Chains A and B, each alone.
Chain A
Amino acid sequence: MSPPPDRGSRVTSAAATPLLQDGAFLAALCSEAATTVLSLWDDKRSTFWRSTEHRDKNEKTAPEDALYPTVTFTCTDALARLALERPEWLAEQQRSVVLRRIAPALAEHSPGTFKSSLRETEYTNSTYVCALAQVHAAASLLAKPVADKVVERVREGLQRIVEHVTGTGSAAGPRRRVHPFISYHLLRAIHQSAVVSRDVELNREVTTVAGDEAELLRNTAIELLARRQMGLLAPAGAVALGLCSSALARGTTSESLPVVLAGLEVALAAQDETGCWPLGRVVSEGKEEGGGRLELSTFEIGWARAPPISAQRRCRHASLDSFAPEGTQLRH
């Protein structure tokens, strides 16, 4: 078996650069990543290809309405965020594609109609709602019918999430225990879309779901922390604990703060010297009935560290040293 291609080179080169002073490095990184993602957009089918290999193999034979939902929603979320937060890091033509082609296309999909390789999971629905919420933030840049449709789709997406979690509606049946990775995205979707949905009754249900999910996560985190205390925490447990911390940090309460901070500490300690989580990135138990496996990218785990770090800062529990060049942020 050949070694993994070029896995750590970018992380290593990042670690050599004092990022606190080097905004240009991050700007270049974002621009390059955006260009890469945009190159895998199929405008005819309004979907993103999973990879260059996926495109090469399927472009001629895939149906015209082919949609690869998880990857499409994930890419749309990231590009819409870039277009809004750092428009200057995108070329004008790229920004136009994001706002005029990719973002409106998202509202054309209805939850329940898309099927991913993960089947229709809470994860896919959550990434869908997250992407919609991100696109909604750009509502002023979108045509009104598109913006209105986005709001409606968020409502549908949240409805679907509630059905999944409560085992009602089209997702009738008991819910399997999910990996904190799924819960993290589920809570992310709920928090990001909180200002979008105008359905009072649904919002009440969503709040209940979020509270229950947070309670579950808190218990899971406490269990994992106990294992860590006994020296029994596997690398996968550290990643899971970090995700619990990230999910709980989005609505930090005084009750969850100690768990958030302890989870963050364990997750950061589990990184290797190149900034990776070499073990424990495979999520299988959260795949529900879909089979197969989902491998989290190092960057996704790193990205998820942001909410607890922010919570730490907000609550003044952290010294500012945690942001020092050789500290936390280089591990992202």
Chain B
Amino acid sequence: MRLPAGRPPHAGWCGDHPYGQPMIESYTSAHVLQCALTLTSLIEEANHQVTLTSFTVQDPRREPSPQWMAWETYRIQNEPDTSRPILAYIHENMVQPILEDHRQLPSSDRRSVSAVLFGPPGTSKTTIVRAVASGLKWPVVMLSPGSFIQSGLDSIEAQAEAVFRRLQALQRAVVLFDECDELFRKRDPTPHTEQTRGIAAFVTASMLPKLQQLHDRGRVVFFICTNKVESLDPAVTRPGRFDHLIGVGPPDEGARRRIISTLVPPPGPAYWQDTIDALVKSTERFVYSDLKLAVHELLRSEPTSTDEARGAVKIVVDRLAPSLAITADDMKSFIAEQSSHSYPFTRGGGINASP
């Protein structure tokens, strides 16, 4: 219904009972509004469902995560950095704001949309993402390099376009770009061939606006997990595309002590505390699975005194060290990456809280 010029409203809706009397009704117009809002939600819901089926998805609502991965439990029991807790940081800055939001959506204004998790291999970066999803009760969309190159390298841009178009249709999902470093690689000249550098620069450049759009839309949370943050283009990690840059290192001393304590059957012999202390101090690059193996081997050696136990610790650590997932070089590189950022990183993990 449109009315001639005069007092507003000039356009609106009315029922079909006021025959021949041009008028606009607030009641009917309010129902148009409700109907359109509902339709929007239904369409988004349907688009979300259809789109999800086109991705590799882990949905905690359909396939419940193990209890240890439930976010509340996980963030308390698996904090890798006891002096500067990164899981608590993720909770306060991403999970909690979303749960408190009346729409249960992330917000680019509140910087709860995206994060880069970087750190050596085996430090549970992917598991952290899955635990975050369990806390939000959202599905995790797993994207790997294969998601972008399945039609061949020639079609990478078209494929990326299609992937991001589908990502834009999602809502309330966690998107994980796992091992996708090549898509976001630094565009600076490198010792590689000109041709390789040219392709990398092209791919990275095409990804930037897509990431920006996904971030600004504020309907999904997304993470990049990478072993080397320095390999990413600075434009990727710039605030506005990623809200947080979080270093995930192997467990620090406090975390190792907690892990080892849970692996040792209580009560141990009197000298056992000294043994745990020795193990905690000598397992710097050990992640959870390494510590589990170390404790298992230590218990198998059945030491009968403090000296024997300390000797056994040294033997076990020396034997396992060469096969650790995190090499000495990885660790050096991680520490260097941490220190290259202006924000003070801590030993076991770090946070670059961009202003």
Contacts and interface: CB of A to CB of B under 8 A. Distances in A.
B40 A33 contact: no
Contact of A82 (B19, B37, B39): B37
Given A1-B19, A23-B40, A320-B49, A30 B26 contact: no
A53 interface: yes
A306 B41 contact: yes
Interface stretch (A148-156, A215-223, A236-244, A293-301): A293-301
Contact of A300 (B2, B31, B49): B31
Interface in A278-303: 295, 297, 299-300, 302-303
Contact of A6 (B1, B35, B38): B1
A119 interface: no
Interface in B3-62: 3, 7-9, 11-43, 45-47, 49-50
B25 A50 contact: yes
A259 to B, nearest CB: 21
Interface of B: 1-3, 7-9, 11-43, 45-47, 49-50, 102-103
Given A2-B19, A320-B46, A323-B42, A137 B102 contact: yes
Q: Is the interface of A mostly helix, strand, loop or mixed?
A: helix
Nearest to A137: B102
Interface residues of A, number: 59
A281 to B, nearest CB: 9
Given A36-B12, A323-B46, 8 more contacts: A33-B32, A36-B9, A36-B13, A40-B26, A53-B21, A297-B32, A299-B34, A329-B43
A329 B11 contact: no
Nearest to A38: B9
A263 B16 CA distance: 25
A67 to B, nearest CB: 13
14 contacts: A10-B32, A26-B40, A26-B43, A30-B37, A33-B32, A40-B24, A52-B3, A78-B37, A84-B103, A299-B13, A299-B35, A309-B42, A332-B35, A332-B39
Interface-centre pick from B14, B16, B29, B41 (highest chain A CB count, 10 A): B29
Contact of B26 (A37, A81, A295): A37
Given A23-B40, A303-B38, A37 B23 contact: no
Interface string A70-99: 110011011101101110000000000000
| Among all A-B residue pairs, the 5 with the closest Cβ atoms | A36-B12, A323-B46, A4-B16, A39-B9, A33-B33
A168 interface: no
A332 B38 contact: yes
